[in-house]
Amino acid sequence: MLTKASAELTLFDTLSRLSFARAAKLLGAEGSRLIMTGGKHDIDIASQVEFDQQRFRLAINGSAVTLALSPTARDRLEWHCNTCDAPCEHAGAAFSLILEEKLALGLAGAPPERVPVEALADDALVAQAIAERQERARNEKMRVRSLQPQQIWTDYTLTNAASGKSYRVALRGWQPGESYCSCPDFRKNTLGTCKHILHVLEKVRRRFTESARNRPYRQRQICDPGMRRRPPAVLLRRGGEGGALFLHHPEGGQRPGETQRGAHLRPDRRRQFLRRA
């Protein structure tokens, strides 16, 4: 297999080889943080991205970030944001999108031949969309960390090895709609699944026994149901401005020790204090 010289690489070649570390260097000292922060934006590729052999352009929040080849730029790749003079979150979002969505952008090899969307029935369209995400779940490298390693139905953190972006997966069952992911695709695709959920499902399928896999998720009772019926406490002040704070319970008045506990709370802590009451 012949390898192109650096000067012969096209924009597609350059972006397809882009790594998280290299992208972070292009953005300077704050590069890693900007990519992670920019990755939180929900971006629609079809309406916000223009991509051809000459340039990659992302429209985001009134700004436009452009990436193009330049013989004088570092690694021959130059980026520009039309509203910012320094490395910014907009540029971070552009690099994050490229790192995370190489398959969708056509940077991860030629996709297989597919039946045109217009020719598919609803069920076939859903099946194709899930198959695309299954393919990405298999091919993309992700690090998985379990909140409770001995439990199959628990929360997981997935980190994409290419982009560095992390998402939370709440795994609750095998069927679409039973689990949750914090990624933008899950929020908007209406499939009830995404590549992150599918990736975790495949990992736990190999790790856990058949008995554990067949055991359904059961929601735990985390508090006494009777406590939910108790009217909420109210934070009051005794003696006007500057007086001690205390909790008034409609059913039982002030509880022992609550004057002292409430009196020394900072304003930003009082809301949390009331929630625990």
CA distance 122 to 169: 27
The structure tokens 């039973």 sit at 178
CA distance 39 to 143: 17
Q: For each of the chain's 277 residues, which pLDDT tens digit applies?
A: 455 666 678 999 999 989 888 999 999 999 999 998 898 888 989 899 999 999 999 999 999 999 999 988 877 899 999 999 999 999 999 999 999 888 788 887 555 555 565 566 778 888 888 998 999 899 888 999 999 999 999 999 999 887 788 899 999 999 999 999 998 889 888 899 999 999 999 999 999 999 999 999 987 665 555 555 555 555 565 555 555 555 555 555 444 444 434 444 444 444 443 344 4
Q: What local confidence, expressed as pLDDT, does residue 123 receive?
A: 83
252 backbone dihedrals φ, ψ, rounded to 5°: -140, 15
Q: What local confidence, expressed as pLDDT, does residue 258 receive?
A: 41
